[in-house]
Structure 1
Amino acid sequence: MIVDNAVYVDGRRTADPSSLEQTFETVQERNGFAWIGLYRPTETELGEVATEFELPDLAVEDALSGHQRAKLEKYGATTFVALRPAHYIDETEKVEFGEVHVFLGEQFIITVRHFEWPDLSEVRHRMESEQRLLELGPIAVLYGILDQIVDDYAPVIAGLENDIDEIEDQLFNGDRTVSRRIYELSTEVMTFQRAVNPLGDVLQGLRDALAASGADETLRDRFRDVHDHVIRIVERADGFRQILQNALLVHTTLVGQAQNDEVKKISSWAAILFTPTLVGTIYGMNFDHMPELHWVLGYPFALALMLATGVGLYWAFRRNNWL
């Protein structure tokens, strides 16, 4: 459905048309641009917008089907941008991903949103309060959307960093469930990378187009600032993935060490119990010609030998940290 439909002239909101036809006519009459926001549109609704503003069929199909990576595509005078916003949920400590599709023309910008966030109404209010920026046209609105989405990545980075800190605590506290959490968090980080990494190419493409068209320097500086933020976020995400890989290696090593310690303990006790058994086996063979068989002190001597060898082995294993 259409959640907002407005016409802007010289950076000011001058009309709120009740239909797409009226929007198109108002834009032509006042030489402004239209900003139309759609939320979970049906095929019919998006088709009507596409017909009125001559949107490319392939891009419309992508906007309807979703599940797109961040990308920038040029169709004649219309630019199509697919974006992957992210949202960190504190209650479940999970990252959820959405989609925003933008159609950009000389006199219009159309946004298609499939999730409740990001709330693009906040972008609209902020842009309407910056008249001089909004005077630059639809490309300025695209900057505002990109800036909002990239800013929303910051809480995701903070949440992932906190999760990694908790994993490190679990890792050295001997929590055996940590391997599962490392795997799940690694999957989230990789999905986050797939959402953010292509955004660098998108912004670079937009900056090149702005430079070629001789766009306002202030706007170019703002796109450069967003691009710099994306680069830093990509670097942080790459670092998170490396940390998690190292954490998994450390966990494997610690598990191996714990198993070795268990094997040492079992082997030590087996040796301690085996020695008295060996002595008892020897003196239980009942041969007629055994030197100690008829010795009065033979029995206490055998017991003392068993005890002495057991204690001696126990002391030796303790000294070598096997027990």
Structure 2
Amino acid sequence: MIVDVATYRDGTRQEVADLHTALRRCADLADPADDTQALPSSQEFLWLGLKDPSAEEFTDIASALHLHRLAVEDAVVGHQRPKIEYYDDTVFVVLKVLEYFDETSSVETGEIMVFVGRHFVVTVRRGEIGALSDVRAAVEGDTAELRRGPKGVLHAVMDKVVSGYTVIDAALEQDVEEVEEQVFSPTRSSDAQQIYSLKREVLEVRRAAFPLVAPMKRLVDGDGNGGGPGEGQDPHAAHHPLDEQAVFVLRDVLDNLVRTVEHVESYDRLLTDILNAHLAQVSVRQNEDMRKISAWAAIAAASTLIAGIYGMNFEHMPELTWRLGYPGCLLLMAGVCLGLYRFFKRSGWL
């Protein structure tokens, strides 16, 4: 369940001996009536990483950190649409993480949920895709990022996910170019299945990236609730965990996201055009094959007609007693076939 947990104070990682104690510490820091805390809110926070938690396992954590039940339910059940929602002073982010496999040219999808409070970050990963160990290591190696607190972690996680989209964008671009060259090459091949499979991969990326654009735009523009109003949500919370600096750095992530979505949509349209072109080529090639078959059938029918006439059992046929009748008949058949062949060749049927 727990992948990693640590407390970060003044840019330094501190191991957690007892999770319940660390959770109580977060609750104490979040208490506005408690003025005994010496450290600013951005300099001490808890980062708890979970993987596929059950409802029972998540209960104590949700209760201690005052996580909203709807957000907790989404994190436990999974299979959510990418979104950003506000619940009082907590931001709940759902991200689809993608991974591209060169061997099969396929895209696999995972899911990451992030709870961001004033003094805590809870990352929930569902599935085997999207491990955040490298993100945690990068953040821990950057003291300035750690000093930004939970909002720095949120930026690092979102940047990691969107950077993955950018990598897949480049891979899909190469695949689309390859299938385009293959379709328009003179070599005959059956490309419809490959094109359709590639369209499915493009759709998978679009489903992950496109729904995130609108809430991220609202987030960086400061236009109210990033995920739409709901029970317990307050878009004007007094202690919003994302400050102006956090919103500023997220603009770069948004730019990369929008660029990826634009590219993916262009790939989808291009693949549709490529598929239509492939089907048109198949139809044209079938027509060409039918013309060739018809031309050869006509050539064979002409010689068959002559052979059939002279194969009839009649006694009074002048050619039967002619010494040159047999070679003359063969020459006639050859001449007719050659003439038809040259005619069909000039007309483009052969």
Q: TM-score, normalised by structure 1?
A: 0.88
1:175 and 1:163 map into 2 onto residues whose CA distance is: 19
Letter aligned with residue 333 of structure 2: M
Aligned residue in 1 for 2:229: none
CA 1:78–1:124: 2 relative to 1, 3 Å: same
Q: Which residue pairs with 2:194 in the alignment? A: 181
Specify the alignment match of 1:56 in structure 2: 68
The code of the aligned residue for 1:114 comes to R
Aligned partner letter, 2:293: I
CA contact (8 A) 1:7 1:26 kept: no
Shift of 1:146: 0.3
In the other structure, the counterpart of 1:7 is 7
Does the 8 A contact of 1:86 with 1:95 survive in 2? Answer: yes
Could you give the per-residue CA deviations for residues 122-165 of structure 1, whole angstroms, max 9, x where no partner exists?
22222233333433332221111100111122321222223223
> CA 1:6–1:196 in 2, change beyond 3 Å: closer, same or farther?
same
Q: Give the equivalent residue in structure 1 for 2:209.
A: 196
Among 77, 80, 83, the alignment partner of 1:68 is 80
Aligned partner of 2:262 in structure 1 is 235
- What's the counterpart of residue 205 of structure 1? 218
Given candidates 137, 140, 160, the residue that maps to 2:149 is: 137
Equivalent residue for 1:311?
338
Is 1:149 paired with 2:161? yes
Deviates more, 1:38-47 or 1:289-298: 289-298
The answer to whether the aligner puts 1:33 opposite 2:45 as a matched pair is: yes
Q: Residue 23 of structure 1 aligns with which residue?
A: 22
Deviation at 1:190, TM superposition (A): 0.5
CA separation of 1:15 and 1:303: change in aligned 2, threshold 3 A: closer
TM-aligned CA deviation for residue 297 of structure 1: 5.1
Distance 1:218 1:126 in 2: 19
Residue identity matched to 2:88:
G
Measure, in 1, the Cα distance between the counterparts of 2:55 and 2:244: 39
User: What is aligned with 2:230?
Assistant: none
- The whole-number CA distance in structure 1 between the counterparts of 2:337 and 2:310 is 17
Q: Count residues in correspondence.
A: 322
Matching residue's letter, 2:203: M
Q: CA deviation at 1:302?
A: 3.4
Question: Which range moves more in the overlay, 154-163 or 210-219?
Answer: 210-219
Aligned equivalents of 2:13, 2:331: Cα separation in 1:
105
Compare relative contact order (CA 8 Å, sep 6+) and give the higher one, 1 or 2: 2
Work out which of the residue numbers 98, 101, 104 in structure 2 matches 1:92: 104
Where does residue 112 of structure 1 map in the other structure?
A: 124
Partner residue of 1:262?
Answer: 289
Between structures 1 and 2, the one with greater helix share:
1
Q: 5 Å matches for 1:238-257? A: 238-257=265-284
Provide structure 1 residue ranges, at least 5 long, that are not aligned to the other structure. Answer: none
Letter in 1 for 2:248: D
Post-superposition Cα deviations, 1:247-294, rounded to whole Å, max 9, x if no partner, equal 211211221122112111110111101112223344556778878676
Shift of 1:96: 0.6
| Amino acid in the other structure paired with 2:282 | V
Q: Distance in 2 between matches of 1:24 and 1:62?
A: 21
Segment drifting more, 201-210 vs 68-77:
201-210
Alignment partners' CA distance in 1, 2:65 and 2:181: 55
CA distance in 1, matches of 2:347, 2:309: 29
Taking a change above 3 Å as real, the CA distance of residues 210 and 124 of structure 1, as seen in their structure-2 partners, is farther
Give the structure-2-normalised TM-score.
0.82
Question: What is the identity percentage for the equivalent residue pairs of Structure 1 and Structure 2?
Answer: 40
What amino acid is the match of 1:57? Answer: R
Output the CA distance in 2 between the equivalents of 1:18 and 1:206: 36
Which deviates more from structure 2 when the two are superposed, residues 261-270 or residues 107-116? Answer: 107-116
1:271 corresponds in structure 2 to: 298
Q: 1:101 aligns with which of 104, 113, 134?
A: 113
More moved, 168-177 vs 18-27: 168-177
